[in-house]
C-alpha cells in the first residue's frame, strides 16, 4: 500500500500529518526506462543517525490520528492589509491571495486564491510545504491533477492556516529590523536590551543591569555598553553586538545542556553554534548538538525547551510520540514554549 499524503510542517519540520488516501499508481504508469520502481527517497531519514532538523518556527506536531487540519479550529483567512477595527468581522475577512513567486498553478481554497508551485517528483505521496515564498506541492507522476486538487481541498484548513502564519511571520520580521546605532533595542533573553555606545568601555561589550529606579527613568532594565565611538558604522555596531551575543549564547547553552542532560539520562559531547536561517537546532547520535545562537533573543524557558528538545533526540531520533513524551518528562509545557518561538519578532542580522 502506498503511503498517502505527507505533510511537511512549516519550513523543515519533518513531522507528518495523518494521511489522506491517494490512489495507488496504475500498473504501467511508471517511467518506462526505469529498472523497476525505486524505493522512495527518504529525505527525512538520513543514513547517519541524525535527528530531524528543527526549524526556526516549528509548528506544533499534530496529534497522531487527530489530523493536522483538524487539530485546531481553522483560522479564517486574514485580510492582507490591516482593516479598521470598526469593520464587522465578516466584511474584514476579505478573500486573500497567496502567491508563490514561481507559481504555476492556482486554486480556490475556501475563500482564498492560492497560487502555488507544483512539481512532479520521485516520491510516493503528495507533499505540501509552506515556506516563506508560499505553498509548494510535489506529487508523483501517477497522481492526476484532479487528485492533487482534491488533496489540497481536503487539507485546505491546514494549508490556509500555515500560509497565514507564514505571512504574519514575515510581517513581524520586517517590523523587527534594527537600526544598528546608539539607543537601538533588541530582545535579549526575552527582554529588551538597549545598545549604548560608550568609547570608554571594553570593545567586547559589557552588560549593565540597571536599578529599578534607573530602569524606570531609562525605560529598559538592561543595557549593553559597547566600546565604540558614537559615530561608529552600523556594520561595526552590528558585528560587535553579534559577537557579544554569540559569546553569551555559547556560555548559556553549555550551562543549560549540562543542567538538562542528566535529567534525560543522556550525554552530550560537543556544542556548535549555528547560524542557519531556518533551524533552531539539531542533534546527532554521537552527542554533538548544534543550536542557533539567535535563540539568545528568547526567554530562558523557550531556550530551555529547544535545549531539551535536542537532548531528547539523543534518546529518540525522530518526532514520534515517544520523543514528545521524553521532552514532556522534563518540559511538560513544551507546546506553549514552542509556540513562543514563532511569536517573537527577531531582529534581522
Ligand atoms: Zn526535533
CA of 302 to the centre of ligand 1 (A): 14
CA 259–ligand 1 middle distance (angstroms)? 19
SS3 85: coil
Distance (Å) from CA 111 to ligand 1 centroid:
34
Measured in Å, residue 282 CA sits from the centre of ligand 1 at 7
Q: Of the given ranges (153-167, 170-184, 208-222), which has the lowest mean pLDDT? A: 170-184
Pick from 166-170, 200-204, 272-276, 298-302 the range whose average pLDDT is largest.
Answer: 298-302
How many Å lie between the centroid of ligand 1 and the Cα of residue 185?
Answer: 31
Taking the C-alpha atoms of residue 294 and residue 346, their distance in angstroms, rounded to an integer, is 8
Ligand 1: centre distance to CA 75 (Å) = 26
| pLDDT (mean) for 108-119 | 89
185-343: CATH topology = Zincin-like (3.30.2010)
Count of other CB atoms within 10 angstroms of residue 31 = 11
Ligand 1 geometric centre to CA of 304 (Å): 14
344 CA to centre of ligand 1 in angstroms: 20
Residue 51 pLDDT: 60
Q: Which of 114-118, 194-198, 212-216 has the lowest mean pLDDT?
A: 212-216
- Please give the average per-residue pLDDT across 226-238, as a whole number: 92
Please tell me the distance between residue 29's alpha carbon and the centre of ligand 1 in angstroms: 37
Higher pLDDT, 88 or 314: 314
Predicted local confidence at residue 271, as pLDDT: 97
Give the residue extent of every domain in the chain.
6-30+39-48+64-175, 185-343
Q: Of 161, 122, 128, give the one whose Cα is nearest residue 140.
A: 122
Average pLDDT over residues 308-331: 96
Band of pLDDT at residue 151, cut at 50, 70 and 90? very high
Q: Which three cell numbers stand for residue 299?
A: 526567554
Q: What is the pLDDT of residue 50?
A: 59
Q: Summarize pLDDT for 46-59 with one digit per residue, the tens.
A: 334 556 556 554 43
Ligand 1: centre distance to CA 325 (Å):
13
Cα(2) to centroid(ligand 1), Å? 26
| DSSP symbol at 227 | -
Amino acid at each position: 500500500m502506498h503511503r498517502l499524503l505527507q505533510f511537511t510542517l512549516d519550513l523543515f519540520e519533518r513531522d507528518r500529518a495523518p494521511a489522506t488516501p491517494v490512489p495507488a499508481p496504475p500498473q504501467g504508469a511508471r517511467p518506462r526506462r526505469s529498472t523497476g520502481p525505486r524505493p522512495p527517497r527518504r529525505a527525512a531519514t538520513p543514513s547517519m543517525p541524525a535527528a530531524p532538523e528543527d526549524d526556526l518556527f516549528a509548528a506544533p506536531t499534530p496529534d497522531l490520528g487527530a489530523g493536522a487540519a483538524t487539530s485546531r479550529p481553522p483560522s479564517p483567512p486574514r485580510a492582507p492589509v490591516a482593516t479598521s477595527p470598526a469593520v464587522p468581522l465578516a466584511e474584514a475577512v476579505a478573500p486573500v491571495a497567496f502567491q508563490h513567486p514561481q507559481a504555476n498553478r492556482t486554486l480556490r481554497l475556501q475563500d482564498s486564491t492560492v497560487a502555488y508551485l507544483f512539481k512532479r517528483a520521485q516520491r510516493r505521496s503528495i507533499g505540501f510545504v509552506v515556506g516563506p515564498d508560499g505553498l509548494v506541492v510535489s506529487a508523483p507522476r501517477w497522481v492526476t491533477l484532479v487528485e492533487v486538487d482534491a488533496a489540497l481541498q481536503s487539507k485546505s484548513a491546514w494549508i490556509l492556516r500555515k500560509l497565514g502564519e507564514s505571512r504574519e511571520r514575515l510581517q513581524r520580521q520586517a517590523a523587527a529590523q534594527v537600526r544598528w546605532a546608539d539607543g537601538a533595542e533588541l530582545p535579549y533573553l526575552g527582554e529588551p536590551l538597549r545598545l549604548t555606545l560608550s568609547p570608554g568601555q571594553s570593545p567586547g561589550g559589557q552588560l549593565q543591569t540597571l536599578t529599578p529606579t534607573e530602569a524606570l527613568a531609562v525605560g529598559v532594565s538592561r543595557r549593553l555598553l559597547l566600546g565604540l565611538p558614537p559615530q561608529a558604522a552600523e556594520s561595526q555596531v552590528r558585528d560587535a553586538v553579534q559577537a557579544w551575543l554569540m559569546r553569551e549564547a555559547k556560555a548559556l547553552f553549555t550551562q543549560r545542556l549540562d543542567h538538562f542532560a542528566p535529567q534525560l539520562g543522556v550525554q552530550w559531547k560537543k556544542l556548535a553554534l549555528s547560524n542557519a536561517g531556518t533551524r533552531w537546532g539539531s542533534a546527532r547520535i554521537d552527542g554533538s548538538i548544534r543550536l542557533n545562537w539567535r535563540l539568545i533573543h528568547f526567554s530562558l524557558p523557550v531556550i530551555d525547551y529547544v535545549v531539551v528538545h535536542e537532548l531528547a533526540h539523543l534518546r529518540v531520533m525522530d518526532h514520534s510520540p515517544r520523543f514528545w513524551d521524553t521532552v514532556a518528562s522534563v518540559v511538560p509545557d513544551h507546546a506553549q514554549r514552542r509556540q513562543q518561538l514563532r511569536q517573537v519578532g527577531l531582529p534581522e542580522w
